[in-house]
Structure 1
Amino acid sequence: MPPLRRRRTRSSAPGSVIENQRRKFLVPFVGPAFLFYTLLFVLPAIGAVWVSLHKWAGSGPMEFVGLRNYERVINDSQFQAAFVNTLLLLFVAGTAIFVLAFALTMVLRTMWGRSAVRSIIFFPHLINALVFGVLAGFLFNPTGLVNTALGWFGVDNPPLWLAKENIFPLIMATVIFTTTGYYTTIIMAGVDRIPPYLYEDCALAGATPFQRLWHVVIPLTWDVFGTCAILWTLSSIKIFEIIWVFGGSSGAGIPPVESWTSAVYTYVTAFSGQSTPAFGAATASAVISLLLVSVLVVFLRRVFRREAIEF
């Protein structure tokens, strides 16, 4: 007997009518948003790729140079140092942020007055990054409050926090401090949606806290972690203000190369530090960052992909 084959037939159920109505309204409602996104994001991205293939000072004629801008940028030692700092900020600072955010979520989940504590933790994220950059000059300069306090405790030779070898770790610590509360709020919202009866079932089954964490909390908030990872990838690649003000607080104007990220390198190449702006090379640097973000977002979506879980 030949195997049975399933035939696709057009259903006349009410659900298909609703689906047809939904598709009818899809274009007028989604169309304007898609057009807006295309005009403001897609076309400028395509234009950036086109500019990166030219030698251009921002005005006047453009000279097509192909991939020479990319070759120049990749072989530039300043870009290499900035790219390494970008990866450090993305992975090292990102790991610290998510570990701290998840730990704070687990601590605050059953704490009395957690709403007030959560607001306090979230508050640094509301302050503009420029404020923290300005405070750096007051707190961490050689005669600032931090070194003065260390002198009270007998430290005769306090470190030069804004020195070239120390400034980027200080920037990373500041970013972690200002960002952890934001991701703590998101992760806590994902943990709060887990039904209490699942914890009760774990208690009745004799599960340890680690088993409850590994088999219940993490799987049911896996998509939340994925969303946080993508948000951090998109935001970390654009961090600029705090680095610029931190580096300029030492009085040098342009931050030292040791504190640069790809965003700072792009700005300096385009607008500062040279007599003739190199918009083509700067745009090539931005396109490289765009490619990095695109690859990471696709990778993260695959890593954090899971089946829909209803509870």
Structure 2
Amino acid sequence: MTLATPPVGEPRHRRGSPRGTGAFDRSRRRLYLPFVVPALVLYLAFVIGPTLAALWISFHRWDGVSDMRWNGLDNYSALFDDPTFRTALANTLIILVVAGAAIFAISFVLTMIVREMRGRSFIRSVLFFPHIVSAIVLSIVWGFIFEHNGTVNTILSTVFGTEPIPWLNADNLFLMILIGTVWISTGLYVTIILAAVDRIPRYFYEEALLAGANAYQRLRFVTLPLSWDVISVAAIFWTISSLKIFEFIYAFGGTTNDMPPPAVWNSALFVYGESFGGRSPSYLFGYASASAILMLVLFTALIVVLRRLLRRDSIEF
């Protein structure tokens, strides 16, 4: 077999590099710039800028009004000796791990159930509803359900004749916050995982059935591998979201004039409490900024590790 040669006088070009490609790429870049630059400016102004400002403030002692006083790494060293910060860090990690495991486990079970039901669009909307309602409203509803004479205690006393259980006392408050967080977030991850499972062609499951695979084997060898890219992104998204939970804990655990007790604080509440008077002395913006920067570094490292652990070869189908 002979290869055809170009006519005389026509220059040879490398495969994949037609004439004019460079000019075409430059014109495309010029087309992208008007769309990219405004977003980049906003990102620098409202994300990178405040982060750098918080980093600078974290090296100072500052109450927000008087002059800043440089104290180097004193704020950071004081954090490790602060039992309230250690409690807030532990609560944040518990929410990340325990609530996250419950959310993804329940989401997988509900996904497998809902995808086989009729009217799943309506069911998916019902499950997603708590995620779109204000966290303040949800905290009121959650408190009404579990208060002394609330729905749960009324049902238990009517059916079993038990005494009212103090669900919202100091010993059980953080557990109720965990359960409430799972209730609020599960619908979102059901929607994400269900969208990933829906795109898997049916014939994969049919072939697995013909091969004699049971439900667990179909989940392990078909559903998980073919939806792993979406699941890994959802896991990263939950890691970021767990760090920012604030409104539900603040409204559910606190009262009209007081914040929740420090025993249920997470990192976001710790930053708020140190900044705006939740503790004494108050208005320690440098100290609060140091805790925020430390949590940012910790969770950034955690996300990098998590991305490496969740990395798998993508499967095209």
Whether these two folds match at TM > 0.5 is: yes
Cα deviation, residue 259, structure 1? 1.2
Q: What is the match of residue 173 of structure 2?
A: 167
Q: C-alpha distance in 2, partners of 1:255/1:24?
A: 52
Preserved CA contact (<8 Å) 2:147 2:167: yes
Q: What is the match of residue 113 of structure 1?
A: 119
Q: What is the match of residue 194 of structure 1?
A: 200
Matched, 1:253 2:258: yes
Q: What is the match of residue 267 of structure 1?
A: 272
Q: C-alpha distance in 2, partners of 1:147/1:285?
A: 39
Moved more, 113-122 or 186-195: 113-122
277, 282, 285: which is aligned to 2:283?
A: 277
Q: C-alpha distance in 1, partners of 2:314/2:159?
A: 56
Which ranges of structure 1 fall in alignment gaps of 5 or more residues?
A: 1-7
Question: Under a length normalisation based on structure 2, what TM-score does the superposition of the two structures give?
Answer: 0.88
1:14/1:189 Cα in 2 relative to 1: closer, same or farther (>3 Å)? farther
* Bigger radius of gyration: 2
How many pairs align? 303
Q: What is the match of residue 49 of structure 1?
A: 55
Preserved CA contact (<8 Å) 1:55 1:64: yes
Preserved CA contact (<8 Å) 1:90 1:233: yes
Q: What is the match of residue 40 of structure 1?
A: 46
Q: C-alpha distance in 1, partners of 2:142/2:314?
A: 45
Moved more, 150-159 or 104-113: 150-159
1:107/1:156 Cα in 2 relative to 1: closer, same or farther (>3 Å)? closer
Preserved CA contact (<8 Å) 1:56 1:280: yes
Q: What is the match of residue 304 of structure 2?
A: 298
134, 146, 149: which is aligned to 1:140?
A: 146
Alignment of 1:181-220 (within 5 A): 181-220=187-226
Matched, 1:149 2:149: no
Moved more, 8-17 or 238-247: 8-17
Give the % identical residues.
44
Q: What is the match of residue 242 of structure 2?
A: 236
Cα deviation, residue 128, structure 1? 1.2
Question: Under a length normalisation based on structure 1, what TM-score does the superposition of the two structures give?
Answer: 0.89
> What's the secondary structure of 2:254's corresponding residue?
helix
Given residue 107 of structure 1, which amino acid in structure 2 is its aligned partner?
I
Preserved CA contact (<8 Å) 1:165 1:258: no
Cα deviation, residue 185, structure 1? 0.2
Given residue 32 of structure 1, which amino acid in structure 2 is its aligned partner?
P
Q: C-alpha distance in 1, partners of 2:305/2:87?
A: 24
Cα deviation, residue 278, structure 1? 0.4
Q: What is the match of residue 94 of structure 2?
A: 88
